[in-house]
Amino acid sequence: MEYDQLYSTHSDATRKVGAVIQKTVEELSNPSKIELNMMPASRGPLPSVEAVREIVELVKTIVFPEFLDRLRGTRTMLEARLSVSTEKLFRMLSKEISHCIYEKNQGESSSQAAEEGMNVALQLVERLPEIKRLLFTDVQAIYDNDPAAENFGEVILSYPVVQAMVHYRLAHQLVMLDVPVLPRIITELAHSDTGIDINPGAKIGEYFAIDHGTGVVIGETCIIGNHVTLYQGVTLGAKNFTLDGEGHPVNEPRHPILEDHVTVYANATILGRITVGHNTVVGGNIWLTESVPPYSRIVQRCANCNPK
């Protein structure tokens, strides 16, 4: 007998299902102590992950219209479509930022949070040309670093690092505007999609490239200069943490500084607040926990090599 027929004709089955569902709902709606400690302080809405996805896609179409706008047409038509997209982006950002602000600033009214959200969103819109400029330097660096790349369209449309950098460049500007929660959602979406984990608090300069990308980790307090290239599996992490009186990690500089023109090859691990001097090459599978001067070449010793 099919399920629908069984459920509709057997009162015992109906009562059993109803009782189990009612009991389960009662248990689920009665939060435990640990749940209560984790619950948002306010009853206001939290940011929408789906809305955040749409926001990032809007940014991509605004920054790369020549590659993502299938309608093309004249400059006037492009400006009209950019105007519509930018206004939509502003409205969506205003809403999601206000949710973050309302949750963070307890005691502030929802109308105050909404006004502040609009002001911050407008500042972000003003920064879109700079976000675009930085992203095009990244695209140039990626193209220059990969002989397999046939053209810039291929890089923009298919390379996961471009996706990750769109998320990061947007999220970092929101960090600079002191927006809570939202930047981390943005970069973690890219992490899930690409395997590239960049904390939005990291500072990354121009012409940044990641080849392949899977497994790259860049910590919150990293400082990365211009013309830096990383390969897959690279970790720029913390060596250890300072704990406060309650045993919680203290948020202080704890990740590496990479100066200009540094290249880090696959699966290298660089830990702690150390400095990798400019024009340095760090070889694959290296474990580095001490600063190195400019123009260094850090490579593994060959275990089977005969000394000469």
DSSP string, 259-284: -TT-EE-TT-EEESS-EE-TT-EE-T
The reported pLDDT for the residue numbered 2 is 63
As a whole number, mean pLDDT of residues 101-128 equals 88
Burial of 48 (0-12, 13-18, 19+ CB in 10 A): middle
**In whole angstroms, what separates CA 146 from the centre of its chain?**
23
> For the segment 40-99, what is each residue's pLDDT rounded down to a tens digit?
666 677 889 999 999 999 999 999 998 877 666 677 888 888 999 999 999 999 999 999
Is the sign of the CA dihedral 269, 178, 108, 48 positive or negative? Answer: negative
The reported pLDDT for the residue numbered 161 is 97
CA-closest candidate to residue 234, choices 251, 255, 249, 252 = 255
Q: Is it the case that residue 38 has pLDDT exceeding 80?
A: no
Tell me the three state secondary structure of residue 73: coil
The reported pLDDT for the residue numbered 177 is 97
Q: Which two tokens stand for residue 9?
A: 């004709």
Tell me the three state secondary structure of residue 217: strand
Query: Are 208 and 141 contacting, i.e. CB atoms less than 8 angstroms apart?
Result: yes
As a whole number, mean pLDDT of residues 133-140 equals 98
> For the segment 4-13, what is each residue's pLDDT rounded down to a tens digit?
665 565 677 7
Confidence at 302, pLDDT banded by 50, 70, 90: low
> For the segment 152-177, what is each residue's pLDDT rounded down to a tens digit?
999 999 999 999 999 999 999 999 99
The reported pLDDT for the residue numbered 62 is 94
The reported pLDDT for the residue numbered 283 is 97
Our CA angle for 211, 213, 214, nearest 5°, is 145
> For the segment 20-32, what is each residue's pLDDT rounded down to a tens digit?
989 999 888 888 8
Residue 204's φ and ψ, nearest 5 degrees, are -125, 130
The reported pLDDT for the residue numbered 305 is 63
> For the segment 261-279, what is each residue's pLDDT rounded down to a tens digit?
999 999 999 999 999 999 9
* Alpha-carbon distance values, 177 to 101, 146, 183, 297 (Å): 12, 34, 10, 38
Alpha helices in the chain (DSSP H): 3-9, 11-28, 33-38, 49-63, 65-68, 75-104, 110-126, 128-145, 152-158, 160-176, 182-194
Query: Are 143 and 208 contacting, i.e. CB atoms less than 8 angstroms apart?
Result: no
As a whole number, mean pLDDT of residues 203-212 equals 97
pTM: 0.87
Is the sign of the CA dihedral 29, 30, 32, 37 positive or negative? Answer: positive
The reported pLDDT for the residue numbered 304 is 66
> For the segment 118-130, what is each residue's pLDDT rounded down to a tens digit?
999 999 999 999 9
The reported pLDDT for the residue numbered 73 is 67
The reported pLDDT for the residue numbered 28 is 87
The reported pLDDT for the residue numbered 250 is 81
Query: Are 270 and 262 contacting, i.e. CB atoms less than 8 angstroms apart?
Result: no
Q: Which two tokens stand for residue 247?
A: 């045993």
The reported pLDDT for the residue numbered 52 is 97
* Alpha-carbon distance values, 236 to 82, 202, 292, 297, 298 (Å): 37, 10, 15, 18, 16
The reported pLDDT for the residue numbered 45 is 78
Mean pLDDT, all residues of the chain: 90
Is the sign of the CA dihedral 192, 194, 197, 198 positive or negative? Answer: negative
User: pLDDT exceeding 70 applies to what percent of the chain?
Assistant: 91
Q: Is it the case that residue 207 has pLDDT exceeding 80?
A: yes
Q: What's the rounded Cα separation, in Å, for the pair 299 and 264? A: 11
